[in-house]
Homo-oligomer: A and B are copies of this chain.
Amino acid sequence: MAKGDLLSVREDVRVVDATLRDGGLCNDFYFTDKFVKDLYNNNVNAGVDYMEFGYKASKDMFDPEKFGQWKFCDDEDIRKVVGENKTPMKIAVMADVGRCNYKRDIRPKKESPVDLVRIATYINTIPVACDMIEHCHKLGYETSINIMAISKNRTEDICAALDIFGKTSVDTFYIVDSYGAFYPEQIRKTSQMYLEYANKYKKNVGIHAHNNQSLAFANTIDALQEGVSYLDATVMGMGRGAGNCQSELLIGFLKNPKYNVEPILAHIENHMMKLKEEGVKWGFDIPYILTGQQNSHPRSAIAFQKENRTDYRQLRLELLDME
C-alpha cells in the first residue's frame, strides 16, 4: 500500500545529508573548513533534517595524521562549525562497530552538539551493536542501527536481526545497500519487511542507497513510497565508489515547501566542481555496474578507477574469478 502521492507532503520524511561521512571515504575526510561551514549553512537553508559530520573512529586504531578530522568527529570540532546549532537541523555522527571506542569517545548528549548516533554494524556483530545502542541511548542520544551489506545476507537472518534490534532502545532501522546491488522491486520488498518490524516495535525506517547501477535515487523514492521516512543523500552523490542518492535529485523531488534545492546547487557550484577538478573520484561509472550486478564489494571497481583503467571486459573476468 503506497503511502502518500507525488503531489502532497509526507510529514514523516527526514532528509539526512551524509556528504562528509560517505564522501569522506573518497578524500580521507580532508575537507576544508570553508567546505564544511558552507555545507552546514547550505543544508540548513535547503531544509535538510540531519547532517552527518563523519565517523567517531578511534584514534588508537586510526592515525589522526593520516585522516582529516571528520573521521573522528570530536565534539569540539563540530562545535567550531555549528556553535550552539540554533537551527532546526540536527547533527549526526556514525559509529562503526569495532572501529570506535564508544565508551570513551561518545560523551553525554548534554555536553555534545551531536543529536543522533548512527551505529553501523554487520549482521554478525549484533551484540556489540546492541551495547552501543543502549550506551548512546542512556547518554541521551537518538540512535539508528545501520545493518550494512544486507544484499549478501539471508532474509531470515535480517528478520532475526530486526527482531533483536526491535527490542533495544534504537529509534530507526536503516536499510543499507552497501554494494548498490538491489533493484527497485527488491527495495520495495525489503522496505515492507523492515516496516513490518518497525511498526511492531515503534521504530522508524531509513534507507542508505548506493548508485552502482544508477538506482540510488530510484531505490530511495521507491522506499519512500512504501513508507520509509529517513532518506540519506549526499551532495552530487559524493560517497564511496559510485556514491549515493544525490541531494539535488532528492530535495528537488520532495514537495514539502521546507525543502529547497537552490542551496544544494550553490554548494555544487562553489565546492563540488572543485573537488572533481582536484581529482577526488566518485560517482556512477561502468566498473561499478559490474560489481553491482555481481553483488560484490566495490573495492575492485574503486581500484580500477584509481588506476584509470578502461579494460572493462578484463575487470568483469577478474570479478568472476573472485566468486
Contact = CB atoms under 8 A, between A and B. Distances in A.
Interface of A: 2, 6, 183-186, 211, 213-219, 221-222, 225, 236, 246, 248-249, 252-253, 261-262, 265-266, 268-269, 273, 284, 286, 289-290, 293, 310-313, 316
Counting every copy of the chain, the complex holds 2
B214 A313 contact: no
A57 to B, nearest CB: 31
Given A265-B312, A286-B265, A183 B221 contact: yes
Contacts of A214: 211, 214, 216-218, 246, 249, 284
A286 B310 contact: no
A248 B248 CA distance: 25
A2 B261 CA distance: 35
A252 B214 CA distance: 13
Contacts of A290: 252
Contacts of A225: 185
Contacts of A217: 213-215, 218
Nearest to A252: B293
A215 to B, nearest CB: 5
A289 B185 contact: no
> 6 tightest A-B contacts by CB?
A218-B218, A265-B312, A252-B293, A265-B313, A214-B217, A215-B218
